[in-house]
Amino acid sequence: MIRSFRYKAFISYSHTDRQWGRWLLRALETYRIPKHLVGRKTKMGRVPSRLLPIFRDRDELPATEDLSAEIQDVLANSEILIVVCSPVSAASPWVNKEIEEFRRYRGGANILWVIVGGEPNASTSKKFPSELECFPSALLSQKGKKAEPIAADLRKGGDGKRLGLLKLVAGMIGVGLDEIIRRDLQRRNRRVTAITLASVLGMVIMGGLTLTAIEAEREADLRRAEAEGLIEFMLTDLREKLEPVGRLDVLDTVGEEAVSYYAAQQLQDLSEDSLGRQARAFHLLGEIDNLQGDLEGAQVMFEAASEATADMLERNPNNQQRIFDHSQSVFWIAAIKWQRGNHQGAEKDLLEYKNLADQLVALDPENPDWQLEATYANSSLGTLYLANLDRPKDAYNIFKQLVSQRIDLLKSDPDNPKKSLDLANAYGWLADATKIAGTLTEAEEYRIEQLALLDQVLKQDQNNASAKSGKVTAELGLARIEMAQGEALFAVSRLRSLVLASEALVEHDETNTDWLKQAARHYLYLTEAFLLTEAQDEAEKSLARGQELIEAYQERTDLFFRQKVQLTYFYQLLNAKLSYVRSDMESVRRISQEIIENMTADFAKGLKASDATQVLAEAYLLGAVAALNIGNEAAATAELQTLVYLIEPRVEIEPPETLQILASAYFHLGEIEKAQSLDAHLKDRGYAKPNIYS
């Protein structure tokens, strides 16, 4: 006999993870089991229509030193225990006690794990620090005694929210994951809801149509035309109004209504235009999933759209609208692969996207929309080459073409601020690629062109947020070029203005993490500029303020690998350099070793060389030069050789700052000819940054 329970599930979590607890409660209580599954007999009993009720601890009962009698009673009367797993929950005595209490009643059965942070089994793995362990000890002690519970991984790069939720639901009702994913997608695509019907009916009434006087066939055609018109409005005008105000919930409904409407039709009855709208509805749902961090759900939507648009294009290969529709599917599939770290896959799809955009331009060279699409294709591909595929020369060529395209677009509409901003962005990307693949003088020229365009936009509209943000990026890029050219005093002046502006933004809203990060980076680069001008006391003050801002930023959000390099490791590196110019070699050795150890651990977890080589190489150089100063030549030689091994294969793809570090390593290893050759190469490119290590 199957026992009945008062609660379907008990959610156990640390107070720090309360947002996840609330999200799980809402997501599970509002999830409707697909009708085809309701009533089926599984190992969990009969499948219910809803997963109710669910008990969430902390907010419902007062905290006590021990589990209260009420909590014990709830656990005893809960069919399933859901454990929100993170490093804080792993260390929580209350979470562990709730697991132990549940096991006292149920053994190891019906425990589901939901991973929201940290790393599984870090406490027994050499790959991760033990403090990243996300499984509470009460769960770990169960392993090996019974089958391990289902683990839904809600982290980015894991299952994601949508797939994680479906995995959890499958475990709670005792069905296979594949089946519930299939049923969930079918339901999402086929449900015809009241909004579309009510809206169509409203349009009919407002138009004063007397439907009873029209023949049945004409009535069906009219309803279809009105529904198509409403969907066109929903996917265009309504979407444009809702996107700027962030109404993702309404947009999600819009997309689902459109998909549901078309799913209810016979495919052979749908025109190509209707099939195109159906694909655009899939695009909309995929974009919303993507914005909400649900990459799995987004991929499902974009692949569904791609199947439809590819089929339509095959039927009519020279139809410009069909080419455009499929190009959007291809772009979004590439975007998801890009976000998931599949950069080669993203490149393949972006090359197809570029080919489709170029086809559009070839078919109608005067069409401004197709011209714009071609620039989007180039900007995406160039950014991928520069940021993720270590191909700066390819990026340089792509961005040169992009600038030319956007100059032509601006000439056709010189007062259009959007086109000015697009061209400014292209100059910024080209400057970044040129710094690696060309000369600093050329890179500086592109930054100056970028700033001139942004100033022009701000002259027309001083409150243009995109122009303001772009100008900050351009000013920082120009300051870094000035430091590389040996013009540190100019860089100090420019960076002083940036930190003042950043401080004003932080003071306006200290909870804004983007502004905190921006201000911290400006102070770090100002510190570097002060060190180049030998203003040690100013450098120390600037670095201290940078540290305060980094700590404030870390209190409010997690640091991804690139952010750790840009903030934490860069701060530590500057701290080591400050110790070096003050001749505190013991501190230099300690800090540089700490950077090397931590970054090496991060490489094992997924940190990419393209994000980190310069900082890691300079940490090795600092540690080696400090070792030479205290007489430890063996350690210095080993670290310099490691540095050379790290950078030599990347000479063609690293910025000049990294190449100067390599030249210093050659010098200290006694390879004078190599050092001089590399220094001459840097000089030819306009690099003249003072070298404090030679």
The DSSP-derived string for 536-575 is HHHHHHHHHHHHHHHHHHHHHSPPPHHHIIIIIIHHHHHH
Q: How confident is residue 166, by pLDDT bands cut at 50, 70 and 90?
A: confident
Dist CA 661 CA 678 (whole Å): 10
- Residue 230, CB half-sphere, CA atoms under 13 Å: how many? 23
pLDDT at 501: 92
What's the 3-state SS for 377-421? HHHHHHHHHHHCCCCHHHHHHHHHHHHHHHHHHHHHCCCCHHHHH
Question: How much of the chain exceeds pLDDT 90, in percent?
Answer: 48
Residue 248 parent element (H or E):
helix 248-263
What CATH number did the domain enclosing 574 receive? 1.25.40
DSSP assignment letter at 680: H
Model confidence pLDDT, tens digit, residues 95-134: 989 999 898 888 777 899 899 988 888 888 777 888 888 9
Nearest to 520 by CA among 537, 538, 498: 498
- pLDDT value at 259 more than 90: no
Q: How confident is residue 197, by pLDDT bands cut at 50, 70 and 90?
A: very low
Model confidence pLDDT, tens digit, residues 476-533: 999 999 999 999 999 999 999 999 999 998 888 777 888 899 999 999 999 999 999 9
Q: How confident is residue 190, by pLDDT bands cut at 50, 70 and 90?
A: very low
Dist CA 403 CA 406 (whole Å): 5
What beta strand segments (E) does 474-538 contain? Answer: none
Paired residues of 113 in beta bridges: 83, 151
Q: Does residue 136 lie in a domain region?
A: yes
Nearest to 659 by CA among 689, 682, 685: 682
**What mean pLDDT is predicted for residues 80-85?**
93
Q: Does residue 197 lie in a domain region?
A: no
**What mean pLDDT is predicted for residues 205-230?**
43
What CATH number did the domain enclosing 21 receive? 3.40.50.10140
- pLDDT value at 147 more than 90: no
**What mean pLDDT is predicted for residues 436-455?**
96
Query: How many separate domains does the chain show?
Result: 2
Paired residues of 675 in beta bridges: none
For residue 488, the tally of other CB atoms under 10 A from its CB is 23
Domain that holds residue 156: 7-177
Q: Does residue 148 lie in a domain region?
A: yes
Cβ atoms of 323 and 359 closer than 8 Å = yes
Q: Does residue 21 lie in a domain region?
A: yes
Higher per-residue pLDDT: 276 or 298: 298
201-210, 359-368, 558-567: least confidently modelled range: 201-210
pLDDT at 196: 37
Contacts of 113 (CB under 8 A, 6+ apart): 83, 85, 135, 139, 149, 150, 151, 152
4-18, 237-251, 369-383, 466-480: least confidently modelled range: 237-251
Please identify which residue in the block is written with the tokens 């235009």: 273
- pLDDT value at 652 more than 70: yes
Contacts of 155 (CB under 8 A, 6+ apart): 115, 116, 117
Mean pLDDT of all residues belonging to the chain = 82
pLDDT at 198: 40
Domain end position, chosen among 177, 211, 235: 177
One-letter amino acid identity for 222? Answer: L
DSSP-based three-state secondary structure for 62: coil
Dist CA 112 CA 171 (whole Å): 7
Q: Does residue 413 lie in a domain region?
A: no
pLDDT at 215: 43
Dist CA 573 CA 552 (whole Å): 19
Domain end position, chosen among 177, 201, 225: 177
**What are the tokens at 521?**
């980076």
Q: Does residue 71 lie in a domain region?
A: yes
Dist CA 207 CA 350 (whole Å): 45
Cβ atoms of 195 and 257 closer than 8 Å = yes
Dist CA 577 CA 692 (whole Å): 9
Q: What is the strand order of the sheet 78-85 is part of?
A: 54-56, 7-12, 78-85, 111-115, 151-153
Dist CA 289 CA 286 (whole Å): 5
Model confidence pLDDT, tens digit, residues 562-609: 889 999 999 999 999 999 999 999 999 999 999 999 999 998 888 888
Contacts of 464 (CB under 8 A, 6+ apart): 417, 421, 457, 458
169: left (phi over 0), alpha (psi -120 to 50) or beta: alpha
- pLDDT value at 269 more than 60: no
User: What distances in angstroms separate CA 546 from CA 471, 477, 499, 523, 653, one per listed residue?
Assistant: 21, 18, 10, 5, 29
Please identify which residue in the block is written with the tokens 């190489």: 617
Q: Does residue 691 lie in a domain region?
A: yes
- pLDDT value at 437 more than 50: yes
pLDDT at 277: 63
pLDDT at 144: 42
Q: Does residue 660 lie in a domain region?
A: yes
Domain end position, chosen among 140, 156, 177: 177
- pLDDT value at 159 more than 70: yes
Dist CA 158 CA 454 (whole Å): 40
Dist CA 619 CA 600 (whole Å): 12
Q: pTM of whole model > 0.85?
A: no
pLDDT at 155: 82
| 2-11, 268-277, 446-455, 498-507: range with highest mean pLDDT | 446-455
